[in-house]
Structure 1
Amino acid sequence: MTRPLIIGLTGSIGMGKSTVAAMFEELGVPVFDADAEVHRLQGPGGRLLPAIEAAFPGTTGPGGVDRAQLGAQVFGNNEALARLEQIVHPAVAAARQTFLIEHAAQPMVVFDIPLLFEKGGAAQVDRVVVVSAPAEVQRARVLARQGMTPEKFAQILARQVPDAEKRASAHHVIDTGTSLAETRATVRALVNELQQSGC
């Protein structure tokens, strides 16, 4: 069975990955957004709510997972985080497989996976595209987010593979420290290159 070329799109927090994923979609490339799938699974009526409530009592309600409550139980607790991941990751993997089947006729698809390197997902894609920006740009973007603190940012960074390592391991790097127009042109050129190479 033929299948699309699988592009693994990743990048550290605040690097502009969601923006780049949207640019792929604008060009007609289907994108599987792992974070969005997690939100669906944990949202109102989400399939994972019973398992999450059983493992972390008091963290779910009619609106789905109470992210503040769950975060309070999980953040900085490796054992609790591992328990949560054992609930979430298999469900996301199954949804990703369904997505791939649904788009089997496409020349390429994008898997938008924030922790591609951290969770060993790079071996499951054909091309790794890393979204990157200068450290000072990244810091400014992240600290502008509601509820973000320098301490929380430092903790998140500590859990992620350093940007330099990601860039070194990538097949392609997209710089988002430039204008949106320049980034969009870079994405378009990459899609054209992959299509012309027969994927």
Structure 2
Amino acid sequence: MADIAIAPETLRDTIAAALGDKALNLEVALNEVVLTVSPADYHGVMQTLRDAPGCQFEQMIDLCGLDYSAYGDGRWEGPRYAVVLQLLSVSLNQRVRVRVFCADDELPVLPTITDLWSGANWYEREAFDLYGIVFDGHDDLRRILTDYGFIGHPFRKDFPLSGHVEMRYDAERQRVIYEPVSIEPREVTPRVIREDNYGGLH
């Protein structure tokens, strides 16, 4: 393993040389290299990042879904769903963050990368379960956190906070049953501080 991490600007230039025009955006933000790629180039770019000299990102350490529909107080005009990954090169002591947007908001689909990093398996299942992002080629894409009969994807911004159904144990039937939600949505009123000098020195 390299003792000292290289400068993020140097890594950015190395990745730019390896990817050519397949990097939609490549920048250093908060001292980290951030790469955005198109869904069409996603799998090929990930393989290049794993295998290319100077990159050698042997480990995919995180993958999560995102719903941008309420981003910027609703002013976001780009695609709705994205996947963000964190890659680590143990041998070169460097990291990169990769973001890829799904091409279709109605059916968000990306190719699986489980053939590149087997550890992506459960992460992709989580993104499917919580956001409804489908990973084409995944050999066991099913829910991992919610129940098998769960309706919808709970991390989507338009998913109701109370959900669609509630479950309880029915003593007569001696099993768990599902019923429509019976609770009323609660309106959250922000706390208002009325003192003029609250928290200030008197």
TM-score (ref. length: structure 1):
0.28
Q: If you compute each CA radius of gyration, which structure gives the higher value, 1 or 2? A: 2
Between structures 1 and 2, the one with greater helix share: 1
Between structures 1 and 2, the one with greater strand share: 2
Tell me: higher relative CO, structure 1 or 2? Use CA pairs within 8 A at least 6 residues apart.
Answer: 1
